[in-house]
A and B are shown apart, each in its own frame.
Chain A
Amino acid sequence: MNRRKLVAIAVTLILLALAVYFIFPFYWLVVGTTKDVGQLFQKSLLPGVPNRFAENVQKVFTYENGVFFKWLGNSILYATVGSIVGVVIASMAGFAFRRYDFFLKKPLFVLVLGFSMVPGYATTLPLFMMFRNLNLIDTRWAVLLPSFVNIFGVYMMVAYWNQITDEVFAAAEIDGANDFIIFLKVGFPNIIPGFITLVLLAFVGVWNNYFLPLVVLNSRARMPLILGITTITDPQGFPVYNLTLTASFFTILPLLIIFISLQRYFKPQLFIG
């Protein structure tokens, strides 16, 4: 066998080994949903015999009078409304930075970007104090409002709007369109792919955000899935591993479906590059 072929085989082996590492937890999670606690403690890599999947699903769905569906509904509400409102607002702000030359443009842009780097763990605490003064703690607004500010979206939107040439805007202006019509009818159709990408990224971001709801919510009825599933216990307060796993499975299932069906929109977006 020649050297080139050996290298190709070695590369394949490395890639396969890494694939096992990246896939294994998914496999183990799915297998875990077919077991009760006793079967989980048997530490096998194979599905449970007898298969407890249907039983686990039924237990998760009926847990605390179906609170699971409230969590699911909350997650859908927070992620859908938060992502769309946030990106629409960001697209307007991005348009302003692209289209106009205005006073304080650069300082404003640097200020906005600068605050995008402030960690959530530093802002969430004062946000909690502010919401407490406004009686917004433990309301859905406390989770929704912060997701409307999508600073990364503003930055990306400026980049997307930059791709539209000045000629397009100039032509529309000569036709007598006002600025809002230009934004909506002339500009917007051109940035739709970018818009979808940002909405998807924001959707996943809100869906997966654990820390904010952890801080601002108390009632289980208002929790999103990601927080709700960590509160599953038996009546004595002990963890129920098989139910937590099954609920985790249903938390990531929508994400996987979205990712797989809309793959072409999931281009990695980075501040530069």
Chain B
Amino acid sequence: MTSATKRKLISTLKAYLFLTPFLALFVFLVIYPIGLGAKLSLYGQRGARMWYVGFDNYSRIFRDTRFWEAFKIPAFLLIVQVPLMLLLATIVSLLYETRKRDGLVYRFLYYLPYCIPGIVAGIVWSYIFSDSMSPFRPLLDFLGYENMKILTRPSVPAILLIIILWEFTGYTAFVIYSSLISIPKEYSEAAQLDGAGFWQIAFKIKIPLLKDVLITLFIFNAIGAMQVFNEPWMLGGLVVLPNNYTPAMYIYTSAFSQGRFTYAAAMGMILACITFIFSLYVLRTATKQVLRHRS
């Protein structure tokens, strides 16, 4: 055995000593449950009785229109909320930069909602929009819309949009702002000398340099959109929503209200695969960035 291999063996031993607590818990609480979920997804179930059915659950899910209908809300969020939020957050972060003195106050205030759990955000906003408590109700009555209800099933997507933008725009703007201030000043100063205005500098110089951050934020928000649960779940306390309103709600109610565990496990696997595809780009970049090669 060469001494280099020997050295690597020793450092392998040491590395795994430090890794043991994490890897043990990781295998026990992440890998094994996912494996179990994959296995269960191949079983049929009635009560406590289970039997192997192969890909039966998957082919049934494929024909289950209720499952695919559940993706309406994630699709809506992906197409409307995520781009809108990134646009809004980018504009806000550019405005932060123009405010050297009071910018800190705005950054702080806008970031605050991010600390609030989705459940509490859902409670407070659903009350704010409920027709029995809404401060907007007297205003609508005054304008002659006495018969127009605020919180109805068709209005829930718009309300979700308001809640989710409220929760994450400030945080997103802060992330974008953090990379904005790392752009060397010389770039925009040089452009300014060439006669470029604020928006020209923003669109031609700054935003292209924010590409990586914006892509990462887009992916994380897309993943979040696929999994939305807490906010519609709390809104469901005040307006009747179908149990397949979002994929996560459908999986949860299938398993715990209807006891269809193996069917729900198969839906979970499909959701996990969709999420994984979204995350591939982030994984690649993140691995490249952190694991530098050392000799």
A interface residues (Cβ-Cβ under 8 A, vs B): 11, 14-15, 18-19, 21-26, 28-29, 32, 40-41, 43-45, 89-90, 92-93, 95-97, 99-103, 105-106, 108-110, 112-115, 117-123, 125-130, 145-146, 148-149, 151, 154-155, 158-159, 162, 166, 179, 183, 204, 207-208, 210-211, 215, 226, 229-230, 239, 241, 244-245, 248, 251-252, 255-256, 259, 263, 266-268, 270-273
Contacts and interface: CB of A to CB of B under 8 A. Distances in A.
B8 A245 contact: no
B31 A115 contact: yes
B138 interface: yes
24 contacts: A15-B92, A19-B109, A26-B112, A28-B124, A41-B132, A43-B133, A89-B21, A102-B8, A110-B283, A110-B287, A114-B279, A119-B226, A121-B271, A125-B268, A126-B40, A127-B29, A148-B25, A149-B30, A229-B119, A230-B234, A239-B237, A248-B124, A271-B216, A272-B212
A123 B271 contact: no
B109 A125 contact: no
Nearest to A41: B132
Contacts of B217: 270
B12 A103 contact: yes
B253 to A, nearest CB: 12
B241 interface: no
Contacts of B30: 115, 118, 123, 149, 151
A59 to B, nearest CB: 17
A267 B177 CA distance: 12
A245 B124 contact: yes
Contact of B34 (A23, A115, A145): A115
A155 B286 contact: yes
B199 to A, nearest CB: 11
A32 B127 contact: yes
Interface string B119-134: 1110111011000111
B19 interface: yes
B242 interface: no
Contact of A40 (B36, B133, B175): B133
B179 A273 contact: yes
B99 A101 contact: no
B169 to A, nearest CB: 8
A160 to B, nearest CB: 10
B289 interface: yes
A100 B8 CA distance: 9
Contacts of B278: 117
Q: Which of B33, B40, B171, B278 has the most chain A CB atoms inside 10 A of its CB? A: B33
B71 to A, nearest CB: 13
Contacts of B174: 268
Contact of B121 (A23, A25, A119): A25
B166 interface: yes
B119 A230 contact: yes
B133 A241 contact: yes
A89 B178 contact: no
A25 B216 contact: no
A141 B252 CA distance: 21
B275 A43 contact: no
Given A25-B121, A101-B8, A251-B117, A119 B271 contact: yes
Interface string B258-287: 000100110011011001101100110111
A241 B127 contact: yes
Nearest to B141: A43
Contacts of B294: 101, 166
A149 B28 CA distance: 10
A117 B278 CA distance: 9
B116 to A, nearest CB: 6
Contacts of B285: 271-272
Given A25-B128, A100-B12, A125-B261, 14 more contacts: A43-B138, A89-B22, A113-B283, A114-B279, A115-B30, A117-B276, A119-B271, A121-B229, A159-B289, A159-B290, A179-B14, A208-B119, A211-B230, A270-B216
Nearest to B132: A41
Contacts of B36: 126, 129-130
B163 to A, nearest CB: 9
B266 to A, nearest CB: 10
Nearest to A16: B106
